Amino acid sequence: MADHVSFIEQVNRFFEKAAALTDHDPSLLAQIKECNFVCRFSFPIERDSGEIEVIHAWRAEHSNHKLPTKGGIRFSPEVNEDEVCALASLMTHKCAIVNVPFGGAKGGVKIDRRQYSNRELERITRRLTFELYRKNFIGPGCDVPAPDFGTGAREMSWIADTYQSLNNGEVNALACVTGKPVELGGIRGRTEATGLGVFYGLREACAIAEDMKCLGMETGVEGKTIVIQGFGNVGFHAAKFFHEHGAKVVAIAEYDGTIVNPEGLDIEAVDAHRKETGSIQNCPGSQPLASSESALELECDILIPAALENVITKENASRIKAKIIGEAANGPTTAEADEILHKKGVLIVPDAYLNAGGVTVSYFEWLKDLSHVRFGRLEKRFEEFSYRRLLSAVEGATEKRFTEEMLKVLSKGAEEHDLVRSGLEETMATSYQEVRETMKLLDGKADLRTSAFVTSINKIALCYGDMGIFP
């Protein structure tokens, strides 16, 4: 059971804890905390049966200190205004933490996508885009949505197509949304970006000997045991990258049950089984866990909640055995649970930093759409010629001779995919160190989450200062 505090209140508690450690003017802190705009939509769509149904949706733009605002659109029956504002606020801080120059936003449509056909989902998405457009809540320079829980590249392509047809001739129209298929202005590497960012972030945390020693663990991800809740876009990719780097994913929890294997699940096999049967249950090489609720309480090194918010609460926090919690989902830990876990010595790598891989690569996609050129297109061959010249100089000056195969590998110029991964890895690694540095400066007064919020508040405050709005 979730603690009886609203999601926005949870986020605000984290914010206030951090704000108290800064010396900014209280009115500036109040401005940074508040959600600037929220729009509620109700619109009719025709079901395949011919019936008309009224759909409810929200879009919140939390902070306009930088434009455009940016944030996913989720399809979930739990969506409400409070949730959308809380998620938009997290987006503001996320962007600031990883130095992505956007304000935070979030959107939600209150539907269970499994109850709608593809044609119905298309009608809902296109009508939502039209409503967002009418209210100026979408556009390359004002507000740019992306995928989130229950949405993916297909929904983003419907949004892009609708926006384009409403803005005939607008040269930057495709930059109105990110997470699109590559053929429609998307970028290579966006699909896996959030899960890969979760992996890079946790790998960075696990590489710090001093911190691992406090947890009684060795450095590195190899051999670490992982439990993941939610095997969707983020959960699957996080699991895949941990598996590929020698960690053991010992349990995966989904809404219809949990599968376990103490020796480690084969992630590609679980994915293939899910694609074939529609569920991860009964996957060969796994056993079912009797009580799915207890999945979060399994013995493991790293617990990765990657489904929804408010799953680690004051009810179950004391029973959690993981030494590290990697918050891949937004808001999985309530403020009360956070305190219990902190006292237990659990290292929580917070959502506002850890799942920022998606918005980081979305930023790259937006840049690509505005520049109308694929990353790597201009320099790839030039780099290859330069490396070839260098290698032939080495051959000329030494006895060394390279085979054509070696030359190909050594002189390979960067493709879009390589550059995106490199930019993502750099962002996750340097941002972790920046947050940890803030934690050190706060001298024992703050954990990683509070330090992440302090980092973000300081950057946003600087921005308002530069605008001359606050001294």
Name the residues that contact ligand NAD, by CB under 6 A: 72, 147-150, 194, 229-235, 253-255, 306-308, 328-330, 355, 358
Say which of 66, 106, 180, 248 is annotated catalytic: 106
Q: Verify cis geometry, omega within 30 degrees of 0, for the bond prior to 68.
A: yes
Residue number, nearest CB to ligand NAD: 232
141: how many CB neighbours lie within 10 A of its CB? 11
Whether the Cβ atoms of residue 11 and residue 90 lie closer than 8 Å to each other: yes
* Positive/negative CA dihedral, 26, 31, 32, 35: positive
Q: Which residue's structure tokens are 């959107």?
A: 107
Checking 117-126 for CB contacts under 8 A at 24+ apart, the result is 117/48, 119/48, 120/45, 120/47, 120/48, 121/75, 121/155, 122/158, 123/45, 123/46, 124/45, 124/55, 125/155, 125/158, 125/159, 125/162, 126/158, 126/159, 126/161, 126/162
Catalytic residue at 106? yes
Q: Residue 255 or residue 382: which is nearer to ligand NAD going by CB? A: 255
Q: Residue 239 or residue 461: which is nearer to ligand NAD going by CB? A: 239
Q: Residue 23 or residue 276: which is nearer to ligand NAD going by CB? A: 276
Q: Residue 88 or residue 329: which is nearer to ligand NAD going by CB? A: 329
225: how many CB neighbours lie within 10 A of its CB? 20
b/e per residue 246-267 (b: at least 16 CB within 10 A): ebbbbbbbbeebbbbbeebbbb
**Minimum gap (Å) between residue 306 Cβ and ligand NAD:** 5
**Minimum gap (Å) between residue 430 Cβ and ligand NAD:** 19
Question: How far from 326 is each of 198, 202, 206, CA to CA, in Å?
Answer: 7, 7, 11
Q: Residue 304 or residue 461: which is nearer to ligand NAD going by CB? A: 304
Burial class (CB in 10 A: 0-12, 13-18, 19+), 348: buried
411: how many CB neighbours lie within 10 A of its CB? 18
**Minimum gap (Å) between residue 307 Cβ and ligand NAD:** 4
Q: Residue 55 or residue 329: which is nearer to ligand NAD going by CB? A: 329
- What are 334's two structure tokens? 């309530």
Burial class (CB in 10 A: 0-12, 13-18, 19+), 152: middle
Q: How does DSSP assign 296-355, residue by residue?
A: GGS--SEEEE-S-SS-B-TTTGGG---SEEE--SSS-B-HHHHHHHHHHT-EEE-HHHHT
Whether the Cβ atoms of residue 229 and residue 296 lie closer than 8 Å to each other: yes
**Minimum gap (Å) between residue 90 Cβ and ligand NAD:** 9
Residue 177: closest CA among 93, 84, 59, 327: 59
**Minimum gap (Å) between residue 303 Cβ and ligand NAD:** 13
User: Which residues does residue 75 pair with via DSSP β-bridges, in sequence order?
Assistant: 109
**Minimum gap (Å) between residue 295 Cβ and ligand NAD:** 8
Q: Residue 328 or residue 349: which is nearer to ligand NAD going by CB? A: 328
Q: Residue 28 or residue 250: which is nearer to ligand NAD going by CB? A: 250
Rounded to whole angstroms, the Cα distance separating 179 from 311 reads 26
**Minimum gap (Å) between residue 81 Cβ and ligand NAD:** 16
**Minimum gap (Å) between residue 150 Cβ and ligand NAD:** 5
**Minimum gap (Å) between residue 297 Cβ and ligand NAD:** 14
Q: Residue 140 or residue 326: which is nearer to ligand NAD going by CB? A: 326
How far is C-alpha 400 from the geometric centre of its chain's CA atoms?
A: 46
Rounded to whole angstroms, the Cα distance separating 416 from 365 reads 11
- Would you name the residues annotated as active-site residues? 106
